[in-house]
Amino acid sequence: MFVIFGAGGNVGRVSAAALRRAGHDVRAVIHSAAQAGPLAEMGCEIAIADLHDRAAVSPALEDAHAVQLLCPVPRDNDDPATAMRHMIDVSVDALRAKPPQHVLALSDYGAEHASGTGITTLFHYLEVQLATVDARLTFVRAAEHMHNWARVLPLALSKGVLPSLHHPLEKRFPTVAARDVGALCAELLLDEEPPQRSPRVVSIESEERISAFDVARTISELARRPVAAQAVPREQWAAMLEGAGLGEQHARLIVDLYDAHNAGHIDVQAGVGERRFASTTLADVLAAIVPHGLMRSA
């Protein structure tokens, strides 16, 4: 049995589908019954579990051969760092009690840093805690997800301005499509060859690095209207993020992340693990997000 936590998300859903196509039993662990439909249709067993709930997480691990673990940053929590660490602690405790043969965890570029990288320090905590589980470990460190740009698409399309926290605007940075991360996770879960060392660290990004200028140009081409990248002044970051609905502490995690990103600290860890390069482009991802009616009428 392959157990996929976060199976309702962009990464987990792809992993679950790939494992089902390969003929394997999959338990899709989701946080809401509303996510169950497509997963049940592909033949997954459904388990509903809140990662804060020890009593719900443990049964989801029954008879697990391999587990794919995703601990999301809780956007709506006043203290997202503490809440995510609690989710990690609950998950790791359950895995210690019922260790499967293989645990694969979704991590992040820059997860080797214990401090100074905002949200990414939480993935460092995840990796450190999982090292106490008696199982074969794989950490998939993914670059920034291309889909994240969907958050500012409404502004880009309505105002013709793409706000960016990546400074300077011409700076090229690694990104990746969620579907490529999900496909890689399924491939690694199916790899029965024992790694030379555990944990196995695999980093994934797209074949081509991009800049904020590239993102703006791609949106402009898809929407057939001008869109210009605009660097948000550093002193306005927190207010902009809080104005978008994030709590003060969540905004601080993102500010610290982009400070680290712009300083060059969020990248592949030199000399550690394996690197994979994915073929999905930014245009491929954004073409599925930019409203199709808009493109037809332009």
Measured CA to CA in angstroms, residue 95 lies from 24, 136, 209 at distances of 21, 12, 36
Q: Spell out the domain ranges in the chain.
A: 2-145+174-205+267-278
Tell me the average confidence (pLDDT) per consecutive run of 10 residues in the chain, 298 residues long: 96 98 97 94 96 93 96 88 96 96 97 96 98 96 95 91 96 97 98 79 97 97 94 96 91 96 94 94 92 45
3-state SS class at 201:
strand
What is the CATH superfamily name and number for domain 2-145+174-205+267-278? NAD(P)-binding Rossmann-like Domain (3.40.50.720)
Task: Please report where in the chains the tokens 């157990």 appear, as a residue.
Answer: 3
Q: What is the pLDDT of residue 196?
A: 66
Q: Can you give the pTM of this predicted structure?
A: 0.94
Q: What is the pLDDT of residue 74?
A: 87
C-alpha to C-alpha distance for 273 and 151, rounded to whole angstroms: 32
Residue 232 CB: number of other CB atoms within 10 A?
Answer: 16
C-alpha radius of gyration, the chain, whole number: 19
Q: What is the pLDDT of residue 46?
A: 97
Q: What is the pLDDT of residue 298?
A: 36
Q: In sequence order, what are the residues at sequence separation of 6 or more whose Cβ sits closer than 8 angstroms to the Cβ of residue 106?
A: 6, 11, 68, 69, 70, 71, 140, 142, 181, 185
Q: What is the pLDDT of residue 198?
A: 77
